[in-house]
Amino acid sequence: MTETLLETRELKKYFPVTKGLIFSRVVAWIRAVDGVDIRIGNGETLGLVGESGCGKTTIAKLIMLIEKPTSGTVFFRGRDVYSLDSQQLKEYRRSIQIVNQDPFSSMNPRLRVNSIISEPLSVVGFQHDKQITRDRIAEVLEQVKLPQGSTSMYPHEFSGGQRQRIAVARALAPSPQCIVLDEPVSALDVSIRAQVMNLLLELQEQLGHSYLLIAHDLAVVKYMSRYVGVMYLGKIVELAESIELYTHPMHPYTRALLNAVLPSHPDIVWAGGKLSGEVPSPINPPSGCRFHPRCSRAEPGCAEMEPALVPVSGNHWVACCRS
């Protein structure tokens, strides 16, 4: 394990459910993220998988300081990011960048590519020197393999894959130490996905930044990450090194997810579809272990005690009473 770059401790985010238009009052809380501890090492990739509504994107928003947590903190190089002064906050915002899912809606259609890429640079203080800014834009465009002539074009002139490259270039521009990838390829065409994934991996090799990869596709996460965390209803249920997790899944939910992946060849007998029911609402999550109503191995005790994420071997952590 390398030195820790980013760490969350007991991170929680509850969103209020309100009733009434004028005298609105809170009637319930959506527990989007409910006590999550993750750590990302220097130059490493942590993948987060889970179904929609499990809180993956909320974690990204908390780390990006788009949302404030209900409780818990994020540490960046050992410092609590919620208590940074304005100068340090600027530096933090530079060090951490995001690539969003949909390259069609994540860019201002009225800006040219050079303005899109130079916008984060202005935060770092490049804006005073036009030549340095121009050089930096040329450099990142080369890194993402886009032609230099694209600087004066608008986003709509590019295809989906090229647009996602612009988004990567924008994230790279201020030389971040960590890039949050929120479903970076799921909006792209199948034949384009490999281009973008390989590009992201090559960039990491060259530049040594870390990734927090958020995706629902288990194969994408396996291909890109060193560590993988599986989320269910706002909690991490299993966390392990990628190879370990995919060869020895311990949590029943992880197993169910892996079983649900479609076969890669018609001869493979598919065990899928074993998991019944749907993800319950995060407003009133089930008591005890949140997975117990759908779990095939549930016991009466599972409804009472909430299992903690405990290490079972080396770097393999599981939150299940039965493992």
**Using CB under 8 A as the criterion, which residues of the chain lie in contact with other proteins when the complex forms?**
51-52, 159, 161-162, 189-195, 197-198, 216-220, 222-223, 246, 256-268, 270, 272-276, 278-279
Shortest spacing between CB 110 and other proteins, in angstroms: 22
The residue (of 173 and 188) whose beta carbon lies closer to other proteins is 188
Taking alpha carbons only, the member of 156, 159, 160, 136 closest to residue 148 is 136
Q: Are 194 and 27 in contact (CB under 8 A)?
A: no
CB of 268 to other proteins, least distance (A): 7
Residues in the chain: 323
Helix axes 160-172, 130-143, angle to 10 degrees: 130
Q: Which of 3, 12, 65 is nearest to 37 (CA)?
A: 12
Shortest distance, CB of residue 126 to other proteins, whole angstroms? 31
**From CA 278, how far away is CA 64, in angstroms rounded?**
30
Output 32 or 256, the one with its CB closest to other proteins.
256
Closest to other proteins by CB, 93 vs 226, is: 226
- Cβ closer to other proteins: 93 or 292? 292
Instruction: Output 57 or 95, the one with its CB closest to other proteins.
Output: 57
CB of 185 to other proteins, least distance (A): 10
Q: 201 CB contacts (<8 Å, ≥6 apart)?
A: 224
Amino acid (1-letter code) at residue 86:
S
CB of 292 to other proteins, least distance (A): 16
Nearer to other proteins, 266 or 314 (CB): 266
CA 210, 309, 54, 291 torsion-angle sign:
positive
Q: How far is the CB of 239 from other proteins (least distance, A)?
A: 18
Nearer to other proteins, 48 or 220 (CB): 220
| Distance from C-alpha of 72 to C-alpha of 93, rounded to nearest angstrom | 19
Helices 86-95 & 113-124, crossing angle to 10 degrees?
140
Rg, C-alpha atoms of the chain: 21
- Token pair listed for 31: 């527990």
Minimum Å gap between C-beta 30 and other proteins is 15
Per-residue tokens: 86: 């304005």
